[in-house]
Structure 1
Amino acid sequence: MGGRSRRSFLRLGGMVAAGLVVPGSAGPVGEGALTALFAGHFARLRRRWREVTAGTGFDPAAEPYRARLAALGARAARHRDAMAPADAWVWPDRPFPSFVSTLERLRAMARAYALPGTGLTGDPGLAAAVAAGIDHYRRRVYAADAEEVGNWWHWQIGVPKRLLDAAVLIGPHLTDAQSRALRDAVDHFVPERRLASYSGTSTGANRVDLCVVMLLCAMLRSDPRKAALAVSALSPVFPYVRDGDGFYRDGSFIQHTYVPYQGAYGASLLSGLATLFAVLRGSPWEIDDPNAQVVFDSVENAFAPVVHDGFCMDMVRGRGVARRPYGDHGRGHQIAAATLLLGESASAAERARWRAMVKGWALRDTCVPMLGTAEAVDLGFHARLSAVLADDAVPAAAEPVGHRLMAMSARAVHRRPGWCAGLSMASSRIGHYEHGNGENPRGWHTGSGMLYWWAEGHGDQYSDSFWPTVDPYRLPGTTVSTRRLADGAGEGWGDTCPPGRWVGGATDGVYATVGQHLNGLESTMEAFKSWVFLDDAVVCLGAGITSRDGVPVETIVDNRRTGAALMVEATWAHLTGHGGYVLPGGAPLRTVRERRRSEGPEPAGRDYVTLWLDHGVDPVSAGYVYLLLPGASLATTRARAADPGWAQVLANTPRLQSVHVPSLGITAVNFWDAGAAGGLSASAPCAVLVREPGDGTATVTVADPRRDLTELTVTWRRPVAEVLHGHPLVTGARTGAALTLGLGRLADREGASHTITVRLG
Structure 2
Amino acid sequence: GVLAAGISVSALAYAGARTLVGSQDSEAGTVRIVAGGDSASTTSQTALAAAGTPTAAQYADLRARHSRMLTGGSDLPVATPYTGFVQGLDAQVTTYLANLNEAAGRTFLWNDQAAGTGSANMTSSFVRLRAMAIQYSTAGSTYSGNSSLLSKTISGLQWLSTNKFYPGTGGPGNWWDWDIGSPLAILDAVIVLGANVPSALRTSLMSAVDFYVSGSAFRTAANLAWLTRCAILHSIVVESATKFSAARSDLLGLFANVTSGDGFYADGSFIQHAIHPYTGGYGNAMLFQLAWIVHLLGDPSTNWVAPADWALVKTWIWDAFEPLVFRGGFSPSVLGRNIARNNSNDHSSGAAFLAGVILLQAVATTADAATLKSLVKAHVLADTARDFFTFDPLTGIGSVTLHIVRLGWGIRNDAAITGLAEASATTIFPRMDRFVHRAPGWALSVAGFSARTGNYEMGNGENLHGWYTANGTVYHCNQQKLDHFQDDYWPTVDPYRMPGTTIDKRPRTNGESQSSLGQATSLVGGVSDQNCGVAVMTVNRDGGSMLARKSYIFIGDYIVFQGSGITNTTSYGVETVIENRNIGASGANLVRMNSTSNTVLNTLGASQTLAANWLHIEGLGGLIFKAGNPTINGLRSERSGRWSDINADSKTPTDLRTRRYLTLWFDHGVAPTNGSYGYAFMPSATASATGIAYTNNQVRWQTRPSSHFAYVLQSGNNVYGAAFWASDTNGIFQASAPVVVIVRVTNGRMAITCSDPLQTQTAPITITVQLPSSGIIWTSAAVTASRTATTATVTFSPAGMKGKSGQAVFLV
User: Could you say whether these structures have the same fold, taking a TM-score greater than 0.5 normalized by the shorter chain as the test?
Assistant: yes
How many pairs are equivalent? Answer: 720
**In structure 1, what residue type is equivalent to 2:589?**
A
C-alpha separation in 2, matches of 1:74 and 1:720 = 69
More moved, 150-159 vs 523-532: 523-532
- Give the superposition deviation at 1:651: 4.0
Q: Say whether residues 1:557 and 2:578 are aligned partners.
A: yes
The aligned amino acid for 2:590 is A
**2:710 is the alignment partner of 1:691:** no
Question: How far apart, CA to CA, are the structure 2 residues paired with 1:681 and 1:407?
Answer: 24
1:50 to 37, 48, 67: 67
Show the counterpart of 2:374.
356
Structure 2 matches for 1:371-382, cutoff 5 A? 371-373=389-391, 377=397, 378-382=401-405
CA distance in 1 between counterparts of 2:498 and 2:74 reads 45
Match of residue 15 from structure 2: none
Q: 1:726: how far off?
A: 1.8
Measured in 2, the distance between the counterparts of 1:67 and 1:636 equals: 44
Question: Contact conserved, 1:239 with 1:291, CA < 8 A, in 2?
Answer: no
Q: 1:286 to 1:451 in 2, by over 3 A?
A: same
Report if the CA contact (8 A) 1:263-1:312 is conserved: yes
Name the counterpart of 1:34: none
Match of 2:539 in 1: 518
- Of 442, 450, 467, 2:473 maps to 450
Aligned mates of 1:339, 1:421 — CA distance in 2: 23
Which of 756, 771, 774 lines up with 1:704 in the alignment? 756
Once the two structures are overlaid, the 10-residue window that deviates more, 674-683 or 44-53, is 674-683
Q: What is the root-mean-square deviation of aligned Cα atoms in Å?
A: 2.6
Deviations along 1:235-258, whole A, 9 cap, x unmatched? Answer: 442222222211112211111112
206-215 vs 321-330, which deviates more?
Answer: 321-330
Letter in 1 for 2:707: L
Indicate the residue corresponding to 1:481 in structure 2.
504
- Partner secondary structure for residue 627 of structure 2: coil
Matches within 5 A, 1:675-686: 675-686=728-739
SS in 2 for 1:371: coil
Whole-angstrom distance in 2 between the partners of 1:73 and 1:629:
47
Deviations 1:102-124 (CA, angstroms, capped at 9, x unpaired): 22221122212333333554566
Paired with 1:74 and 1:527, the residues of 2 have a C-alpha distance of 53
The aligned residue for residue 318 of structure 1 is 336
Aligned-partner SS, 1:146: coil
1:669 shift after superposition: 1.4
Deviation for aligned residue 1:732? 5.2
CA distance in 2, matches of 1:78, 1:707: 54
1:624 equivalent in alignment to 2:677 = yes
Corresponding residue of 2:295? 278
What SS class does the counterpart of residue 741 from structure 2 fall into? strand
Q: Secondary structure at the match of 1:380?
A: helix
Cα displacement (A) at 1:701:
0.6
Structure 1 residue 620 displacement after superposition:
0.8
Displacement after TM superposition at 1:442 (Å): 0.5
Tell me the CA shift for residue 743 of structure 1.
2.9
Is 1:730 matched up with 2:783?
yes
For 1:93 and 1:285, locate their aligned partners in 2 and report how far apart those are by CA, in whole Å: 46
Alignment of 1:301-316 (within 5 A): 301-316=319-334
CA distance in 2, matches of 1:114, 1:725: 62
Task: Report the CA distance between 1:308 and its aligned residue.
Answer: 0.3
2:622 aligns to what? 580
* Change in CA separation of 1:126 and 1:577 when aligned onto 2, cut-off 3 Å: closer
- Matching residue within 733, 753, 771 for 1:718: 771
Residues 443-468 of structure 1, C-alpha deviation per residue, up to 9 Å, x if partnerless?
10111111122333121222211111
2:656 corresponds to 1:656: no
Structure-2 separation of matches of 1:70 and 1:662: 57
- Is 1:243 aligned to residue 242 of structure 2? no
Deviations 1:287-329 (A, max 9, x none): 3596632212111111111110111111110001011177111
| Mean Cα deviation higher: 663-672 or 147-156 | 663-672
* 1:343 matched residue in structure 2: 361
Residue number in structure 2 paired with 1:748: 800
Return the match for 2:345 from 327, 331, 343.
327
Calculate the TM-score normalised by the size of structure 2. 0.84
Are 2:223 and 1:172 equivalent residues in the alignment?
no
How far did residue 75 of structure 1 move?
6.2
Q: 1:228 aligns with which of 218, 235, 245?
A: 245
CA distance in 1 between partners of 2:753 and 2:291 (Å): 37
Q: Name which structure has the greater RCO, CA cutoff 8 Å, separation 6+.
A: 2
Corresponding residue number in structure 1 for 2:607: none
Aligned CA distance change for structure 1 residues 734 and 565 (closer, same or farther; 3 Å): closer
Closer/same/farther in 2, CA of residues 57 and 401 from structure 1, 3 Å limit: farther
1:540 aligns with 2:566: no
Asked if 1:203 is matched to 2:254, the reply is no
1:548 maps to amino acid: T
Q: Does 1:595 align with 2:595?
A: no
Partner Cα distance (1:130, 1:412) in 2: 48
**AA at the equivalent of 1:561:** N
Look up the match of 2:127: 104
Distance 1:747 1:553 in 2: 37
Paired AA for residue 440 in structure 1 = N
Q: CA deviation at 1:410?
A: 0.9
262-271 vs 60-69, greater mean Cα deviation? 60-69
What residue in structure 2 maps to residue 405 of structure 1?
428
Deviation at 1:234, TM superposition (A): 2.6
CA distance in structure 2 between the partners assigned to 1:510 and 1:298 by the alignment: 20
**C-alpha spacing 1:66/1:433, structure 2 compared with 1 (3 Å):** closer
Gaps of 5+ in 2: 1-45, 594-610, 645-653
Letter of the 1:414 counterpart: H
Are 1:145 and 2:187 matched, yes or no? no
Q: Is the 8 A contact 1:443 1:472 kept in 2?
A: yes
Give the counterpart letter for 1:637 in structure 2. T
The alpha-carbon deviation at position 278 of structure 1 amounts to: 1.0
Distance 2:97 2:698 in 1: 70
Are the equivalent residues in 2 in contact too, given 1:450–1:476 (CA < 8 A)? yes
User: Is contact 1:333-1:373 (8 Å) kept?
Assistant: no
Distance in structure 2 (CA, Å) of the matches to 1:144 and 1:252: 37
Give the corresponding residue for 1:673.
Answer: 726
Q: Distance in 2 between matches of 1:173 and 1:83?
A: 22
Distance 1:524 1:168, change over 3 A: same
Q: For residues 570 and 579 of structure 1, what CA distance do their matches in structure 2 show?
A: 15
Q: Using a 3 Å threshold, how does the CA distance of structure 1 residues 63 and 460 change in structure 2: closer, same or farther? A: closer
Moved more, 95-104 or 592-601: 95-104
Residue in structure 2 matched with residue 567 of structure 1 by the alignment: 592
2:668 aligned with 1:642: no
Per-residue deviation, 1:67: 5.8
Inter-CA distance 682–141: structure 2 relative to 1 (3 Å threshold): same
Partner of 1:260: 277
Moved more, 367-376 or 135-144: 367-376
Indicate if the aligned counterparts of 2:74 and 2:138 stay in contact, CA closer than 8 A. no
Contact 2:458/2:464 (<8 A) preserved: yes
Question: Could you report, residue by residue, the CA deviation over 1:672-730 in whole angstroms, capped at 9, with x for unpaired residues?
Answer: 1122223322222111111112x322111111111123322222233322221221222
2:269 partner letter: S
Change (3 A) 1:576 1:337: same
CA–CA separation in structure 1 for the residues paired with 2:314 and 2:263 = 14
Q: Aligned in 2, Cα 1:66/1:545: closer, same or farther, shift over 3 Å?
A: closer
Cα separation, 1, equivalents of 2:513 and 2:407: 44
Deviation string 1:332-374 (CA, Å, 9 cap, x unpaired) is 1111111111111222222111211211111111122222147
2:32 corresponds in structure 1 to none
Percent identical residues: 30
The SS at the match of 1:266 is helix
Q: Which amino acid aligns with 2:728?
A: G
* Aligned 8 A contact 1:454 1:630 in 2: no
**TM-score calculated relative to the size of structure 1:** 0.89
Counterpart for residue 22 of structure 1: none
Match of 2:552 among 528, 531, 541: 531
